[in-house]
Amino acid sequence: QVRFVESGGGLVQPGGSLRLSCAASGISVRLYNTAWYRQAPGKQRELVAVISSSGNINYVDSVKGRFTISRDNAKNTVDLQMNSLKPEDTAIYYCNVRLGGLDFWGKGILVTVSS
């Protein structure tokens, strides 16, 4: 059974940092395109960052230079290091793997950036 469990979210002040981790089971993340999405209140879900099986990485413009997506193949996780956080980063964050047009999702984890 494919399953993803996100961890590392919470409340942080503007300018702070958080590291999200998506622990995968039933699938090896290094073999597929893996991604982090987020959905802010009143907004559509958007792709934040993606890392392909070959290691190619892309980010949404709003997080470039602040966020870093990576894989830990030994732990079978896909991680998102978030620095210089802004209130507009507040959202539920989801990890995702796309396989042959079928999406596998975690349940999501809340990140709140506020004073």
SS3 of residue 29 by DSSP: helix
pLDDT in tens, 36-48: 999 999 999 999 9
Instruction: Look up residue 64 and give its amino acid.
Output: K
Band the pLDDT of 31: cuts 50, 70, 90: very high
**Tell me: the pLDDT tens digits for 102-114?**
899 999 999 999 9
Report the alpha-carbon angle 4-6-78, nearest 5: 75
Residue 1: what pLDDT? Answer: 87
Per-residue pLDDT of 7-25, as tens digits, reads 999 999 999 999 999 999 9
d(CA 62, CA 16): 16
Q: How many CB atoms lie within 10 A of CB 62?
A: 12
Let me know: does 3 contact 26? Beta carbons within 8 Å.
Answer: yes
Cβ pair 62, 46 in contact under 8 A = no
Predicted confidence (pLDDT) per residue in 65-95, tens digit: 999 999 999 999 999 999 999 999 999 999 9
What per-residue confidence (pLDDT) applies to 99? 85
Question: What pLDDT sits at residue 100?
Answer: 79
pLDDT the model gives residue 71: 96
Give the residue from 54, 3, 57 showing the smallest Cα distance to 27: 3
- Tell me how far the alpha carbon of residue 45 is from its chain's centroid: 12
Q: Can you tell me whether residue 31 is helix, strand or coil?
A: helix
Residue 92's Cβ-side half-sphere holds a number of Cα atoms within 13 Å equal to 13
